[in-house]
Every structure is written in C-alpha cells, then in structure tokens.
Chains A and B, each alone.
Chain A
Amino acid sequence: MAGNWLAFLNQPRSIETERSWSEYLGEILSLILSKLFFKDRNNFKLACKSWNSVIPNTPLLPPAIASPYFDSPCLIFSQRSSDCWKLFHNHYYYLEFPELKDAEIHFSKDGWLLMSRDKSNLFFFSPFTKEKLQLPPITDSFYSVCFTSTPTSPDCSVFGILGKSTRGRVNLGHIKIGDEEWELETFDNGAHYFRFSECPPVFCNGVYYCFDFNSRNFRVFDPRKDDDEHRWITCGECLETSEDEDNGIKYESYFAEVEGDIWGVFVTNDDRRFISVEKWNFAKMCWKKMDDLGDKCLYVSPSGSFAETCGVSGMANKIYFSKFQGKSGIMYSLTTRMYHLVEGNFARKNAFGLTEMVHGAWIKPTLDKM
C-alpha cells in the first residue's frame, strides 16, 4: 500500500499536464477571483500576465455584490494625516482618492456619500465606482444635511439646515437633483429655545424630521406644502420621552429611517453604558423603547445611520458603531447589553478606551451601481 501511495504521488497527473494554471483555466480562476478583494485581488493580478487578463476591466474597487463579504456595509473614513482613506470591513483597506483631498463626509446613503470640500462645494461620491456628481454652489455651509435616495435617481433631493440659522430663525437649503439652483428658505423657529441635533435630518414618508439636541422635540419640513404654516411644522415639547429611567444626558444620538418608522439610538451615561433603541410613535408623539431589533441590525455614525435586515445569523439585534478598539471594529449587542469586538473575544459594558471615528460613515454598495 505504501508503495502504491508513493507511485501515486510520483506519477505525472495528466490533469495538471494537460491544463496549466497559468493558461486557460479562466473559468475556475474567475470563480476564485470573485472571492478575492483589494490586496488579494492585486496579488492575483501580479501572478502572471494571463492571470492579469482574467481580471475584468471594472472599476478599482469591484467587490462582487453577490459576495457574502460585501453583504454588509463598510465604514469609510479619512486618514487625516495623509490623503488616504480607510475602508473598514473586518480589515482595513487603504484607498487613494486624490479627488477627495480635504473633503469631508456629511451624509451617507445607498452607497453614496454627500461630501464637501469647502463651504460652497458640495458633491456626491461613490467610493465603489469613483463616480462624482457635483451639486450647484451654495452660499452658506450646512449645519446638517441629508439626501433622500440614490443621486442617480431623478427624485433624489438634498435637504439641510444651514449654519447661519439662529435659535429663533432657521435657514434651510434644499435642491432636487438636476435643478440648477438651491432653494433657500427662512422660517420662524418658535419662541422657545431650540437647538438642532447635529444628526442629519431624517427623511421619512415624504417629509424631513429635524430633531433638537436632546431628541425630545422636532421640526418637520414638508416640501409638498406651499404655505409656510404647513411647510415648516413646529412640534411642541414632548414631555413624555420614554419609559426609560436612565433618562440622563444623551451623549450620543443617532436617527434612522426604518421601513417608514424612525428609530433613535440613544447613548446615556458618561461611560456610554446605557444604550436604548426607541421607535418614534407618530400618534402619541413620543419615543417608545424597543426591547430588541428583531431580524435587524443598525449601522450608526454621525453621518447617517441605517438598519439592515440580517440574512446571516448572529448579526441581528446588534448596533454597529463607528468605534474601534485598537484596530478592531466594535458592535453593541442588545442581547448581552455589552460592547463586543466584531471579530474576536472581547466584551465589556462601557465604552472606555474606544476610539470613535467621528468623520466616518457606514456605506454599503448597492446593486444599481455595480
């Protein structure tokens, strides 16, 4: 038997002699290639010329949308010390976007970033296709801004609160994609002290919700209405915030539109120990605490937040923050009520020592661009 084995090993295998890996195994190589990304993809390209030719002439970052690796969003943020941008998806990937020099991210949705270079220069950018769409110049900079859908779609609009707004008067800017000029409007913000949350406005059921800094009341901008009274709706103080006792200072707030509802993620206590997810009750005008997220998980960042339905088990009921422990991503499990490393053993109740990527945004490649 041992002799047979040796003979077996030594004999030339016809399969290998007839078909060489450097030549025409294109289909198998394409299959393997479809599972490789970034650096590993470049290694593939470097192996030899014929392997290079297997690589399709697609954009720089072509993560196959069907791949399980990119079913989940990645966090993109600027590496301030250089012109590099980092993409985090279990590992770091370094991307060079010379066109994004000195630019910052304001909002992220549907695989697109809304960015600005200086005050008046706003543009959309897709890091996956490197597509850039310029918006007309605007005289003032935005305090917070959002957009409604993929900027390649005709019904996409951009809406935001301008930086020159005061507590008494609010200045808004909005534009429909394709229009040549911004529409600027000013509204009376009511006599009360009202400070807007730094979170981007939330577009939900056709109107924009702009929360105040403690998330207890809000203003609604309804672009479909013509008269001032109905276009800018002032909503009174919502006293009953939630049933939560630990209703202290909200150190972090995030809002996301989830299937026609607005979800808020509130982080209280200075060690970020208490995290609650609450659903806005439109009828009662108050937040209602959610016990769990069902099959959803949340991706939250100061530049926009969204929910994903989890196809992969183990991902649901978690909040993915734009926070890091060293080089590892951090998520918060609503089941364990603890922070965990995305990969690896780590669990703790508070967020001490975690680095927050305040200029980062979660982004997910979407089908229509790939």
Chain B
Amino acid sequence: MVTTDEKGPLTAKKKSVIIRSCDGDEFLVSESAAVLSTSLKKILEEKEDRLIHLSDIDNKTLAMVIAYLSTHADDGLSDDLKRSFDQEFVSGKEFDVLKYLVLATDTLQVTCLCYTVAKKMADIMKNKLVEWVRREFDIQNDYTPEAEAEIRRLDAWAWDDRQLEDD
C-alpha cells in the first residue's frame, strides 16, 4: 500500500482558530474541532478573522468544551473511545459546572454534548427535593402557598415512599 494518509498528524497542515473566553483567555483550536460547534462553524464561514471572542463563556467552561470538540475531531480515535470519553466527561462533575456547560453547549450549538450534559443533570436531579432544585438553579418560588399545595394535592400519586435527598 503506497497511499499517503492525508489525515496523518505529520503530513496535514491543520488550520487553527483562536477562541477567546469572556475572561480573556485564548485557546488555540484546530478548525476541524471548532466546526463541530454549529455556531462556531457559522462564524468561521462568515468572517476571515481567525479570532473568535465569546462574551458569555468563561475560560473554565470553554476549556472543557474545547477538550470535547478536540477529542471528537480526532480521526485517530474510534467511536467506542469517543463514547467512553463522553461518559467520563460528565461523570463526577459538580452540578454547578454542568449548568455552565449546558448553557455553553447551547450557545455554541454542540448538540451532542448538550444532550449528554442535560441527561447527566437530570440524573442528579432525580430523587431531590423541590427546595434543592430551586436552590441549585437560583429560582425564586413564585407560587403562593395555596397554589403550591394544590399542585402537590393534584399530583399526590407521584410522591411515593422513597427517601428524598436534600444534599
């Protein structure tokens, strides 16, 4: 076989873009990774500039998203490896971190990751008290006590004998 692998890391000269977070940190990302985000792909199609400033994603979150994009853009990795990477990616992450991640993936339109993160968030939300949900999402309860009691009464079937968690 004498074909040359154009995708090989040594032969291909990869184009890169610079992505800047809202706190000013810059990340060098291969274009093949960046275009996995539908939003970044659109931006790159529209402008010559190789610097993209994201005013609403912090550096910590952006670093995670870029790690995800780079892994998924790596042709050398099998689909199985990418899948296990996805599982690893969300496991053990704090709820707060996932909240920023899901917003960032929504903004950047990284559908697959957005879906994975939302599922992980739902997993954590299971068996939690409504107070926990409000606290974690910084939600003000705008129900009147009567309205809240009425909803609980109507949905009484849903509260079983499982222990609810509030940690």
Contacts and interface: CB of A to CB of B under 8 A. Distances in A.
Contacts of A48: 134, 139-143
Contacts of B160: 39, 91-94
Interface stretch (B11-19, B41-49, B54-62, B68-76): B54-62
Given A21-B139, A48-B141, A15 B23 contact: no
B55 A47 contact: no
A36 B130 CA distance: 13
B2 interface: no
A49 B142 contact: yes
A32 B137 contact: no
A48 B162 CA distance: 23
Interface stretch (A6-14, A261-269, A296-304): A6-14
B137 A35 contact: no
A132 to B, nearest CB: 17
A42 to B, nearest CB: 5
Contacts of A51: 139
Contacts, number: 119
> At the interface, is chain B mostly helix, strand, loop or mixed?
helix
Nearest to A17: B56
Nearest to B126: A40
B56 A15 contact: yes
A46 B123 contact: no
A31 B103 CA distance: 12
B111 to A, nearest CB: 10
A355 interface: no
B88 interface: no
Interface in A1-60: 8, 11, 13-16, 18-22, 25, 27-28, 31-36, 38-52
A11 B106 CA distance: 22
Most chain A CB neighbours (cut-off 10 Å) among B128, B134, B148:
B134
Contact of A95 (B139, B143, B157, B161): B157
A131 interface: no
A94 B157 contact: yes
Interface stretch (B26-34, B79-87, B113-121): B113-121
A228 interface: no
Given A21-B139, A28-B103, A95-B157, 15 more contacts: A13-B58, A22-B142, A25-B106, A32-B125, A33-B122, A36-B125, A41-B158, A42-B158, A43-B133, A46-B151, A47-B130, A48-B141, A49-B143, A92-B160, A94-B159
16 contacts: A15-B57, A21-B139, A22-B138, A31-B114, A32-B122, A36-B126, A38-B158, A39-B160, A39-B162, A40-B122, A40-B126, A42-B158, A43-B129, A45-B155, A52-B151, A92-B162
